[in-house]
Homo-oligomer: A and B are copies of this chain.
Amino acid sequence: MLLERTTRVNFLYDFYHSLLTDKQRAYMQAYYLDDYSLGEIAEEHEVSRQAVYDNVKRTEAMLEQYEEKLKLFEKFQQRMEIIQQLEEQLQVMDKERITALLHTLKEYE
């Protein structure tokens, strides 16, 4: 599994897990957060390895669809970038720049 891909799925899961079913959450949690293999998860839930794989892949696609519609992860990253800039500007106490950054931050829902 590529690390970057795993990180993204973890973030998307963090933002949208409340919209998933209990089973989807159980598989995703086991596979991505607790690092169990597909085979181990299949054994635990008494289903085929393929069934777990299909469920996980479908859930990943759902998470990407939610992100496409709501863009919570994207907006979160943008806000974090602005907050970082605010912290930098705070070091030099540039009041005008800080005010402008706060204004930008307010634009984000």
Contacts and interface: CB of A to CB of B under 8 A. Distances in A.
A72 B109 contact: yes
A74 interface: no
A90 interface: yes
A48 interface: no
Contacts of A66: 19
Given A15-B109, A72-B109, A76-B109, 17 more contacts: A14-B109, A16-B70, A18-B69, A18-B70, A19-B69, A19-B70, A70-B72, A72-B72, A80-B106, A83-B105, A86-B102, A87-B102, A90-B95, A90-B102, A93-B93, A93-B95, A98-B98
Interface of A: 14-16, 18-19, 66, 69-70, 72, 76, 80, 83, 86-87, 90, 93, 95, 98-99, 102, 105-106, 109
